[in-house]
Amino acid sequence: MDQPFDAVLFDRDGTLIKDVPYNGDPFRVAPMPGAREVLRELRTHGLRTGVVSNQSGIGRGLLTETQVAAVNARVEELLGRFGTWQICPHHPDEGCACRKPAPGLVLSACEALGVRPERTVVVGDIGADVLAAQAAGAVPLLVPTEVTRREEVDHAPRTAGDLHAVLEMIR
Give catalytic residue positions: 11, 13
Buried b (16+ CB within 10 A) or exposed e, 54-88: bbbbbbeeebeeebbebbbebbeebbeebbbbbbb
Q: How far is CA 105 from CA 87, 88, 122, in A?
A: 7, 7, 11
Q: Do the Cβ atoms of 16 and 37 come closer than 8 Å?
A: no
